[in-house]
Amino acid sequence: MSNWHRRTVLVTGVTLSSGLGLASSGAGESNDDDVEGEGDLELSVSAPESIPYKEVADPSEDAADFNIEVTNCGDESVTVEGRFKIGQFNEPLLSASPIELEPGETDTAHFGVMSRDLGPGDHEWTITANDETETGTLTVTDDEEC
């Protein structure tokens, strides 16, 4: 059973668009927390390691693209809340947060972060969905200095 979600939120410097939710299956790890189904979430993040600094940029081409999938791998529905944090940005992971994911259901989100909003250097990012966390570093290189 496919469930389509379509959301777009524009925040200064960060574009969040979450697209389609697809039915999918996968094996998740289970935990013994008090919140039922919470340990059955799978969080997957695709993010660049570096982008060049550009003062003048096209958001559709020059953003660091973070593609995020949250899948309920459990047997029961689960309420999902999450955050996307990098630099001064601390945004809800899903624009309609919290959301309810049925067993096997996936929701996706996309964040585009402009290098000019972060500045040159290393920027730690964190993405959470309930108890699942992914972290990394985005390096903005200053190729415009010569």
- The pLDDT tens digits of the residues spanning 74-98 come to 999 999 999 999 999 999 887 666 8
Reported as a single tens digit per residue, the pLDDT across 23-43 is 222 223 333 343 444 458 999
Please tell me which residue, 115 or 8, carries the higher pLDDT value. 115
DSSP 8-class letter at 49: S
C-alpha to C-alpha distance for 93 and 79, rounded to whole angstroms: 13
How many Å separate Cα 86 from the centre of its chain?
A: 11
Confidence of residue 145 (pLDDT cuts 50, 70, 90): low
Please tell me which residue, 97 or 8, carries the higher pLDDT value. 97
127 CB-near residues (< 8 Å, 6+ apart): 43, 45, 66, 68, 82, 83, 84, 85, 93, 133, 134, 135
C-alpha to C-alpha distance for 55 and 70, rounded to whole angstroms: 33
C-alpha to C-alpha distance for 88 and 96, rounded to whole angstroms: 21
What is the rounded average pLDDT for all residues in the chain? 76
- Residue 49: is it exposed, middle or buried by C-beta count within 10 angstroms (0-12/13-18/19+)? exposed
Q: pTM of the full predicted structure?
A: 0.71
Give percent of the chain with pLDDT exceeding 90.
57
